[in-house]
Chain A
């Protein structure tokens, strides 16, 4: 299920965590990995003059420049490249999220791996609100694995998956992905729902009633889909969902969190508040996979 992985990277230190996971998956699961780098945003004419995404400088994209960028990436990831047989570098110019989506579509990729906020320079935000990750996660047909922090608990491979559900349509796809991954890689799977009580003062009986309902709902919705898969347990409690998910992941030493990503407002101001999955991404100690479409799960 991880045949083709695209590592979308700026090549900056903030992307090293994502690179580590992508290369490790390539070695462990025999995936093909494409190191995909959008080197600049076109400024004028035929895309030959771009603002370099790392320096912000205006540069001319010619054979020399491309060779130089490729060399830089090879040096950056020298260690990882050493053992990876199925790795290649693809360079592009354009708006990063758009080009990442284009590459994923043309390769029919199974997974996009990226950092969450590596090099989001102001240059390519201008006129186009929303972060690269938000745009990719919203539109990608395949799951998007994000590594924001240096994945303290990630030792290689996945063995313990946490699936956080809000019972949405997208969560159905996210669940399938979590289950299939758990099956294929022989992982433990925790299905978790946090009853959102943030900012509310609720009667305790009411809370407990809702917890029972949620637990029943998980049993009715997800358990029948699991067939002979038995390595799962179910957890339900109340709190601020992102906090509870991060806490539970830490407690259980989870190495992969799977959640739904909802298509929502890309307006920079509104998006700042962030959905639960975005909050989890920036806080979790392990990779987070967001799923919004049913195609590649």
Chain B
């Protein structure tokens, strides 16, 4: 059986197919079909020839096999330091082999590559910083994922994930109507405590356009309300688009390149349509990477930049606090030991380490902030990045991976962890659930709302 009904080389493009694959509990049938999935070596080799550019070729050639990348990889460290977990080995023995064999590899080998690409690398890019030649194996694994996806060798959840993006243009089944209705709902629910608060949808020429993660309207709409409260208090002229509001990209985790481009284009189209001066997104790492860092290249923008300056939420927050648009009541600052998780996707990969620390300086009483070790761009992945959190088949491996972050947190002695990234937030929640070390964790939004010094005229009128 070359192509399965559920597991095949065709992306999920219809709601029908999406529901069909989703109804296959735990992907049992999907993975069974994968055992029989034929590798189209010619197509694979043709794709490599077309897409593997000089950087990757050079990286393969100049790798000195020195092994200096080994210790940089938290998965190597946390998995007994076995040679199979050395980044250079991981990529040479997978992508390297496929290239060497000009795509003539077996089904079994492709499945092995899938395991390595999604359970032994979170694309955190830490190895690239430690390699003397600057070889970034995270980037290479991202590329390998694309090749595997094109041949249908992708974990069940991520096949569905990119299918969601293709069908709903969101990582979950949230339609435009659902989204707009959620904005109305949250404005209604919040305006009593915040008189005058609005969530303006599709407002032209706003100063800033806000995008988010489908998880928020789907399960945690209070996050949308919190964003609205902070924009409201800051007096920001802001808007959300009715289309192109979803900033995340499970398709990036899946290696569905065509869909990656479509996701980002959809957001850029919203920018072109509404003409905001700037854009910002929610506290999410990979969404920022997809839309702001990688996106311009996917969509072929010649300047390598989004259509308007697209800042991360932490940049907006830091700016609002710095300029006094948002004021913190010093009495309400955090007065307990607190640590900060650095999201790989915007700290290591974009350099926003000082921005998050500037925010910390406003909201934490001096002396209570404890850095993790290592920290900033050297900090480790939360343990669940790159799609790792969401893949049932690799849950055990993911739980092992969480131990690095757990040890780092335990070493700080803090009971409160600030995690301004959805993926990190989820991973830290899961690590508490798995290992019960007695910590709390939070995004920035709710913390800051709790310590705002709100101008008198914004408070609800006295009740009596």
Contacts and interface: CB of A to CB of B under 8 A. Distances in A.
B435 interface: no
B432 A95 contact: no
Interface in B136-185: 157, 160-161, 164, 171-173, 185
B219 A263 contact: no
Contacts of B26: 60
Contacts of A48: 22
A44 B390 contact: yes
B442 interface: yes
A168 B172 contact: no
Contacts of B218: 47, 94
B189 A139 contact: yes
A169 B442 contact: no
B221 interface: yes
A222 interface: no
Interface string A78-118: 00000000000000001100100110010000000000000
Contacts of A45: 157, 160-161, 390-392
Interface in A42-69: 42-49, 60, 62-64
Given A47-B172, A63-B23, A127-B429, A42 B219 contact: yes
Nearest to B192: A263
A170 B161 CA distance: 44
Given A60-B25, A60-B26, A127-B440, A98 B220 contact: yes
B423 to A, nearest CB: 11
B164 A46 contact: yes
A46 B161 contact: yes
Nearest to B398: A44
A48 B18 CA distance: 13
B219 A98 contact: yes
A167 interface: yes
Nearest to B219: A94
A242 B262 CA distance: 58
A192 B440 CA distance: 42
Residue picked from A63, A123, A139, most chain B C-beta under 10 Å: A139
B222 interface: yes
Interface in B12-68: 22-23, 25-26
B442 A263 contact: no
B365 interface: no
Contacts of A44: 157, 389-390, 392, 426, 430
A126 interface: yes
A127 B463 contact: no
A212 B33 CA distance: 81
Contacts of A168: 463-464
Given A45-B157, A45-B161, A47-B218, 7 more contacts: A46-B157, A46-B160, A46-B173, A126-B432, A127-B429, A127-B440, A139-B189
Interface of A: 42-49, 60, 62-64, 94-95, 98, 101-102, 105, 123, 126-127, 139, 167-170, 263, 267, 293
Interface of B: 22-23, 25-26, 157, 160-161, 164, 171-173, 185, 189, 192-193, 218-222, 389-392, 425-426, 429-430, 432-433, 440-442, 450, 463-464
24 contacts: A42-B219, A44-B157, A44-B426, A45-B157, A45-B391, A46-B160, A46-B171, A46-B172, A47-B219, A48-B22, A49-B392, A62-B23, A63-B23, A64-B25, A94-B219, A101-B189, A105-B185, A126-B432, A126-B433, A127-B440, A127-B442, A167-B464, A263-B192, A293-B192
